[in-house]
Every structure is written in structure tokens, then in C-alpha cells.
Structure 1
Amino acid sequence: MAKIEHHGLRLTRLKLTNWRNFQAAEVMLSKRAFFIGPNAAGKSNLLDAIRFLRDLVKPIAGGFSTALELRDGLTAVRCLQARRINFVEIDVDIGNDENRSLWSYRLRFNRFPREPFPTVEEEEIKRRGKSIKYQARDKDTQDPFRFSQSLIQQATNQAEFRELVEFFTSIRYLHVVPQIVRDPRRALERNEDPFGGDLLKRINEATPRTRDARLRRVAEALKIAVPQFVDLKLDHDKEGRPHLKAGFKHWRPNPSYQTEEVFSDGTLRLIGFLWSLGEKDGPLLLEEPELSLHPDVVRQLPAMIARMQRLSGRQVCMTTHSDALVGADGVGLHEVHRLIPSENGTTIETAKNNPEIRTLVESGLSVGEAAMPLARPKGVEQLSLFDAVAP
């Protein structure tokens, strides 16, 4: 079967009920989304809810039960603040600029008394607002195994919503760990690795024309961000393993080439970031893309994302603690979402819905200057008074 084109589709709404930090939270999403907030507010857990959708439909090592097992079971993902309502629910809309809800998907799951495993309590798929698939179980059902799988993971049921399945399949989480990229044993990694172990494999598997064009674009950015950088190319060692080789200027006429094994952490993270932006896939989920990068480089990341999105159409959702990233030119109030932890769970507030932030931006401050101070932990100034070596 030919691959269905989902270019231009993106997550437009995410609603979570009793998912990890979130007892009840909802957020509307644009092509770029910046999630800010103190440590342990739930930024990574929010991205993980989106990753969960991908794990539901993975053809190998995927499905409802496996997705939960990867997260240590229902108890681990259920919000600690869950009270009268104790089910977990993920509810999303998928659309584009013309229609924000071409598809809607809602999955509610729980574990009922005296049953050894979680089951789907309710599931619904809508296309253009019309329900096309629905299942719900009675708590007294005599056949709980029937609800141990989700509708969306069952290949025989997917013809009507193949586009939605392929969209979820195209979601990618990326948090490049340079030490993993440098490990030569990972160069031919067969499985997808969110920490960059498959980066060289993905570059190697691209067609030569596509690979060369995208490496040229990556190299143009690196020429600005990395001193003495000249060019970037793919090469192979005697065992056939792929390697990135970067040329650097020095006092001799010809550049000196180095492989990824000696690239700086920031260079490797920037290469992984830029390569992934160019892939024409679904939402790209990034954890703190500012790590190991100079603040002036970080300020350019939002513009780089916007420019690459014109080519790839790829939505980018990222967590950050960086004033430079959120305060960059062109970042809008509708793109910045603040996570607010409390005793009743974390809620999400979009910057455009906060009158204080709007007023500050209208008076001339950047979105970062207006929003980031509100994302700091309360009483953080007290840390400077903490004596870690006191007897």
C-alpha cells in the first residue's frame, strides 16, 4: 500500500486527564510550541503523552499494553493527585491551517478491581467531527481481554483511519546524548534511538541526493556557529560503519578533517537538531535543545526552525529553561506554554492568556523577558543561602 501523505498535519490540541503530573490540563498547539516551567513540573511527561500515541501504533514492540509496560505500568502514569476520577485519558486533535480538527482521538484506560491488567475503558476516533470508530467497556464485562488492545493498534481495523495511524507513527522524540552518538557500536543501530544512537544510520540511509543537500544546509549553519568549520560529509570506515567528517581551517592550505568521535557536545547536538528538522515527518519532540550551545546560537534556533518548517512542514514541540530561546525574535505569545505545578497537579497556561505577560510584551519586552520570570521556582533565591557542607 502506498504511503499516505500527512505533510502539513500537526497536533492542534492536547488534553490530559490524570496523566502523570496532570490531573486536568489542556493546551492548543501551533507549529512551534515552547514549554517552560520549574523542574519536575511535568514538561518531559507532557512530551511523553505524545510519545505514548506513537507507541500505541508501532508495528513492532508497540500497542497499548507494551506502551504502558515501557512506562512501568498504569500506577506509574496515573496522576498522584487523581481522586474521584481515577481513569487516565489522552485526547488530541490533529489538523492543519485550514481545519484544526481533521482527526480527533481519545483514549481512556484504567484497571478495574480484581483484574490483573489495565484495559481500554473508552476509545473514539473522529474524522472531521464525525465518529468513525468507538468502543467502551462495561466494568462488569465477562471478557476483559477484549479490551486489552486499543482499536488504533489493530491492523485489521485501520483502513478507515490509516492517515491517523501514519501520523502517530511519524512522531519522533529526540534528546541527543553526544556520548551515545560517538559510540561506534551504535552506528548501525537497527532500532530507533531517541538519544541519537541511530543518527548516523538515518543519515546513511537517506538517498545520496537528499543526504548531500541536507548536509550542505547543516554545514551552512555550522559555519556560523562553529569557529573554523569548513564542511561536513559522510564517510565509511573499513568495517563499513558510517561516520560524519567535518573539515576545519588551520594554518595549512587544506582543512583538517575530524570524525564525530571528537566533535564537541554542542556540535553533535546541533547536527542532530538540524538533521531532524529537515526530515519530512510528524511532530518532533525536543528536550532542552539549548544544551551545550552558546546563548547567541540558541537565540537563532526558533528562526532556524521556522525556516526549515517551510521546507519540511514539521511541527516542533520543545521543553526549555532558556531565556534566550523563548526570548528570540519572532516567538509569539501563542507559542509559549507555562506549566504551573500545584497540590492539585500541574496546569498549562498559554502566554497569550496571561494579562500580565501580554501587558509586558505590549510595553516592549520580549516574550521570554515577560514569561520566564513567572516560570521560576518559588523562593529560588533561598538556594544561595543553602550550606551543603554544614555538619
Structure 2
Amino acid sequence: MILHKTTQQMIIQRIQLFNWKNFHDVDVNLTERCFIIGANAAGKSNFIDALRFLRDIAKQSGGLQEAVDLRGGITKIRCLAARNKTNISIEVHLGEPGDKSPVWIYKLSFAHTGGGIRKNQVKILEERVYSREKGQWILDRPIQGSEDEETLKFTYLEQVTANKNFRDIQYFFQNIEYLNIIPQFVRESYSAISSSHKEDYYGRNFLEKLATYNETKRNAYFRKINEFLKLAVPQLEELKFVKDKMGVPHLEARYVHWRAMGSKQQEAQFSDGTLRLIGFLFALLDFNGVILLEEPEINLHAGIITQLPEFISRIQRIKKLSRQVIITTHSYDMLANSSIGTDEVLVLHNTPEGTTIKRISDIQEIKAAVDAGFTIAEAAIPFTAPKTVKEMSQLKLDI
């Protein structure tokens, strides 16, 4: 997909969520590189799922009803802490990094409709688009006199005949990419099972996707990845893309050992950590939009994890296009990296009224510790741990 110049330069500057899963009412600013931390079940995955939701609406063959159905219906989306107002709302501000004025604002609010003999669906309560170029809201639905129950089941965002004046927003959402490589899926990625999955969040079609790249582009990626692997996995050399006699694609590398020439290995013999690392590197090199990474530290050595934040930053600097990376993590080693700023880390905190979100720069207790010389990890990880966690070691386990 060819992106407009303005789309290439944009990131998500701000997001507001109302009654979205864990979040009753939150409003937070984002940066180009953003780390999301919090206790288990605080809502880290649900936060980035709001962005995936917008992608599911905007993508080809997607749409609002499909996006809701994929998540089990509106009752599975609506926050349990919702009170009198039960509608769900998402608002995002898109603009250039460091620019406080958004280029676009998109807001969508919807609620349940149907029931009985009618299929349970959702209807749009509000869909609004603001354009900085026009200096005004260029869409404000429902449009009085021209909307009915049926038209309000479909967003203008998903309709090419209706989104002509703000198609940059659709392109932007379509280029949100979620990645959470599961090594076993990569090893089986050319099985009959994989081909049935249209979306590839977990690496089912990873090798199949590599096969679609032209050789020049693929080789360029492998050269860069090999430079990183020389440092991170020194026993693996010359990672490359090959096809077997049946035309099935594989990753292949030379495993260095006591034999002078080493021995060749394919993805079936790669460790879980190596496969996750390769998928992570390809995501950073290949995509030009927003990249959502779920706990990339899994299966990786602490020494590699510590270097990932700076590696991400380096990729962002050398690419000509803006690239926003949003990462959920529990990793002490990742957050110990001194390059991470207090405005780059979002802390999720459970409350009876839903999960709250704050940047560390707005949490005085943590910011003061960082200003005093502590790392983000030292200051923030204890803050996010359950208050009763130390009691685990005191539990009586007699059966």
C-alpha cells in the first residue's frame, strides 16, 4: 500500500478510551517509543487492542460489526466498571512526533442494538473527524435527516465512498501492525492449518509471507538481521531464506561448532528465543506504521533484552518514515535501559473504577526516584507489583 506523505509522518499522539474493556475513562499522550507496564490483568493487552480494533474496522473486508464480533460482542468489550453511560468510545489524535497540534482527530462512539429476533449488533452514536488543514470538524455523525438504523451500523471510516476527505486516517489505521510471535507456529507455518488464517499475529504465516517479498528486499532485510544475530546469537551465521525440493520456504543458518564448516539448521531446530528475535527484527525493518509488540522479552536472554530499547530507537532514527513502536512488557532488564525517558512509559493501575493510565513523568513518586538516579525499572517495577505479593512465600501449602 502506498501511503500519503502526511500518513508516513504521523504517529498516535493521544488516545482517549471510555468504557473500553478495563478502562472506564482514560486519556493519555503517547510517544514514538512507548512502553506499557502494569500488574497482571491490569489491561496492557486490552489497551493495545483498542488500536487493533481501529485497524479491524479500517482494513479491507473489515468493518465495525466484524471488529465487534471478533471480540465476542459488545458485552465482552464494555468495561465492567461502566455506570449510567454504557456506550463505548475511542478517540485518537494523529500527528507528527513532537507536534502538539494533531493533523487528524478521529472519534467513534457506539452502543448495542438488536436483540430478540433481531441479530445483536452495534450502532454508531457518534463518528467525528477533525482536520487541521480545514481547521474544523469535517464529519459529525449522525447526520440529521439522512441517517437511519441501518446506515448507523457502518462507519464512514470503512467505506471508501464516504471517507474520501479523510482517507489518510483509514490508511494509517490499516498500517497498524500487531506482533506476538509464537515459535511453534513459525515451525509449522507452512502447514494446512496456517493457510486458513487471514491475520498473522502469531507467526503462522511468517515464512509464507517472506516468500512473497522480492529477492532484493528480502536479502536486504537478511543482511541487517545477520548483523544483529552476529552479536546476539553468535553461534548462528548466514541466516537466509531457502525453499526445499517441494517449494516449501524455510529459514536456514549455519550453526558454528567444532567442525570447520559447522552444520546447517532450519527453523525447526532454532530455539524459541531465536525465532522470536528474528520475527521481532523483521517487524521493525518491514513496517512503516504503528507496531504493537506484546512482551518481546519472552524467551530472550537478559543481555539482549537490555539492548532492545536502544536498538528500536536506532531503527526509528535511520528510517525515513515515522515509525511508532508500542510495547507491553514486564521486563526489569528492558526498563533498566538508561535511554528510556519518563514520558515514554505508561503505568497501568487497577482500581475499583477500572484501570487508570499515567505516564511516569506524571507520577511524582516514581519520577522523583528516577530524578534521584534510579532506573525506570528500579523505580517503577515495585510500584506496579501487587501490594500483597510478598505474602505468597508465607502461604501454608499443607494438603
Q: What's the TM-score, normalizing by structure 2?
A: 0.92
RMSD between aligned alpha carbons? 2.1
Structure 1 unaligned regions, length at least 5: none
Equivalent of residue 123 in structure 2, options 119, 127, 130: 119
Structure 1 position 188, deviation (Å)? 6.0
Count of residues in Structure 1 that have an aligned counterpart in Structure 2: 388
Give 1:34-45 correspondences, 5 Å limit. Answer: 34-45=35-46
- Corresponding letter in the other structure for 1:367: I
- The residue correspondences of 1:285-364 to structure 2 (distance < 5 A) are 285-312=292-319, 313-364=322-373
Q: Is the 8 A contact 1:35 1:339 kept in 2?
A: yes
Say if 1:382 and 1:220 are closer, same or farther in 2 by CA, change over 3 A: same
Pick from 137, 140, 143 the counterpart of residue 131 of structure 1. Answer: 137
Q: 1:235 to 1:58 in 2, by over 3 A?
A: same
Q: Shift in Å at residue 282 of structure 1?
A: 1.1
8 Å Cα contact 2:123-2:153 kept in structure 1? yes
The answer to whether residue 258 in structure 2 is matched with residue 251 in structure 1 is yes
1:92 aligned partner: 92
The offset of 1:197, in angstroms, is 1.3
| 1:232-287 Cα shifts (integer Å, max 9, x gaps) | 10000122121110112122221311111111000000000000001132111011
Superposed, 1:1-391 pairs within 5 Å as 3-5=3-5, 6-60=7-61, 62-97=62-97, 99-100=99-100, 101-112=102-113, 116-128=120-132, 129-136=135-142, 143-183=148-188, 184-185=190-191, 191-312=198-319, 313-388=322-397, 390-391=398-399
Cα distance per residue 1:87-134 (max 9 Å; x no partner): 100000011136341111000001258674210100001111521122
What letter matches 2:150 in structure 1? F
Distance (whole Å) between structure 2 residues aligned to residue 343 and residue 381 of structure 1? 22
Identity level (%): 39
2:38 touches 2:385 (CA, 8 Å); kept in 1? yes
Contact kept in structure 1, 2:11 and 2:97, CA below 8 Å: no
> Partners in 1 of 2:315 and 2:209 — Cα distance?
18
TM-score, structure 1 length as denominator?
Answer: 0.94
**Alpha-carbon separation, structure 1, partners of 2:196 and 2:243:** 15
Gaps of 5+ in 2: none
**Contact (CA 8 Å) 2:177, 2:287: kept in 1 or not?**
no
- Asked if 1 retains the 8 angstrom alpha-carbon contact of 2:11 and 2:95, the reply is yes
The answer to whether the 8 A contact 1:37-1:321 is kept is yes
CA contact (8 A) 1:334 1:352 kept: yes
86-95 or 210-219, which deviates more: 210-219
Q: Provide closer, same or farther for how the CA distance between residues 26 and 220 of structure 1 changes in structure 2, counting only shifts above 3 A.
A: same
State how far apart, in whole Å, the 1-side matches of 2:214 and 2:158 are.
30
SS for the counterpart of 2:161 is helix
Would you say the 8 A contact 1:7–1:280 is kept in 2? no
